[in-house]
Amino acid sequence: MAVALVNGQVLTDAQFEPVTVVIEGDRIIAVGRDIDLATTTAQVDLEGDFLLPGFLDTQVNGGGGLLFNDAPTVETIATIGAAHRRYGVTGFLPTLISDDLEKVVCAIEAVDQAIETGVPGVLGIHIEGPFLSERRKGVHDASKFRTLDEAALTLLTSSRRGRTLVTLAPETTTPEMIGRLAGAGVTVAAGHTNATYERLIEALSAGVTGFTHLFNAMSPLANREPGAVGAALDHQDSWCGVIIDGRHIHPAALRIAFRAKRHDRFMLVTDAMPSVGMVDKNFTIQGRPIRVVNGVCVDENGTLAGSDLDMASAVRNAVELTGLDLADAAAMASTNPAAFLGLGKELGRIAPGYRANLTLLDRGLKATRTWIDGSAA
């Protein structure tokens, strides 16, 4: 039977309204002010808090003390998902950083199984590398890097369930290969790239539709060479992931980016590591020790190594550091990534017919409750 969520400030297509949301099974069946509640079996009082489309994070390396690369299993995915759900995430892509292709096989199989067995929130997989630039490697292990060949193409298109997002450096492959990936239904993003502006525009024409963690690990915007950053901001139809933790990108750079490109093409991502949801913040990546210093993950050389950011904090930071209003920040955490992944007709909105994936934030913009396919936690 139906459940009514009442007395909340509900984000409905870019504005907050004091409407009722009715859920039945895994779907939203009604949104409005004058709903007959006699047909519902229960009412949930939201006490004036903000009801948003559930957050969707396309870049989640770990959480709850586990790193996906260390053990790409259904159990690891479930632990990571549960850790991030506490911060409003109702949909995510477990993310595998550069590794051997045998590890990629295991990761794809684990995500397929997780979706088949109903692990909450799993939408697919993000394979970040190993087709990356050594010049822009960040914390990735360059010994794992390789070019995108036929064997890798077959592997990257082998997932049976959910969405596949691949981050690659366009200079490690050809426009033809990018086109074949995109043609097979893979979402292709440029990242960890030292490509020129011209090479990026060529890749965008071939099938790249997004940029992984804009500004970070990519050729910068300069006066004579706009680089990857320039291509990302100049190309109005591509999506850009941004890590808003106050360290990865200066707030002024974010504000400039938000003025250069329409807001519905930006996505909040966490690039989260095992430390999210943990008291003990220390962990390792492929044998290298990582410390969390003032909320920032760094390796022994001080190189940024993902983040200790959660999505509720990313939304809050977007409002506080850049001046976005909550509606825009929430869309960057839900509506926009859903569209990027081709899931905009079922996720990212609070509207009849959409999956009942919802996040409740209190007045301090902290997550207090979530619903995934109608199931509350």
85 and 29 share a domain?
Answer: no
The verdict on residue 347 lying in a domain is no
What residues in the chain have per-residue pLDDT under 50?
Answer: none
The verdict on residue 135 lying in a domain is yes
20-24 vs 62-63, strand pairing mode: unpaired
The verdict on residue 191 lying in a domain is yes
Measured distance CA(86)–CA(249) in Å, rounded: 25
The pLDDT value recorded for residue 136 is 97
Here the tokens at position 133 are 């630039």
The pLDDT value recorded for residue 41 is 82
Segments forming the whole domain that contains residue 79: 54-340
145 and 277 share a domain?
Answer: yes
* Catalytic option among 57, 112, 271, 310: 271
Residue 232 dihedral angles phi and psi, to the nearest 5°: -65, -40
358-361 vs 50-53, strand pairing mode: antiparallel
Q: What is the CATH number of the domain that holds 168?
A: 3.20.20.140
Measured distance CA(268)–CA(8) in Å, rounded: 24
The pLDDT value recorded for residue 211 is 98
118 and 24 share a domain?
Answer: no
The pLDDT value recorded for residue 57 is 98
Q: What is the CATH number of the domain that holds 42?
A: 2.30.40.10
The pLDDT value recorded for residue 356 is 98
13 and 85 share a domain?
Answer: no
What total of structural domains would you count in the chain?
Answer: 2
42 and 190 share a domain?
Answer: no
Give the amino acid at 285: I
The pLDDT value recorded for residue 263 is 97
33 and 63 share a domain?
Answer: no
50-53 vs 9-12, strand pairing mode: parallel
Measured distance CA(95)–CA(70) in Å, rounded: 12
Q: Which residue has the tokens 């067995």?
A: 117
The verdict on residue 309 lying in a domain is yes
Measured distance CA(76)–CA(338) in Å, rounded: 23
CA 121 to chain centre: 12
The pLDDT value recorded for residue 295 is 82
118 and 229 share a domain?
Answer: yes
In tens, the pLDDT along 164-221 reads 999 999 999 999 999 999 999 999 999 999 999 999 999 999 999 999 999 999 999 9
**271 labelled catalytic:** yes
Measured distance CA(65)–CA(344) in Å, rounded: 31
For the sheet with 239-242, list strands across it: 55-60, 89-97, 124-128, 163-168, 187-190, 208-211, 239-242, 266-268
90 and 119 share a domain?
Answer: yes
Q: What is the DSSP letter of 156?
A: H
124-128 vs 2-6, strand pairing mode: unpaired
| Angle (CA) 119 342 18, round 5° | 80
Here the tokens at position 217 are 């690990």
The verdict on residue 204 lying in a domain is yes
94 and 118 share a domain?
Answer: yes
Measured distance CA(316)–CA(170) in Å, rounded: 33
Measured distance CA(243)–CA(249) in Å, rounded: 7
82 and 187 share a domain?
Answer: yes
128 and 251 share a domain?
Answer: yes
The pLDDT value recorded for residue 39 is 76
The verdict on residue 76 lying in a domain is yes
The reported pTM is 0.96
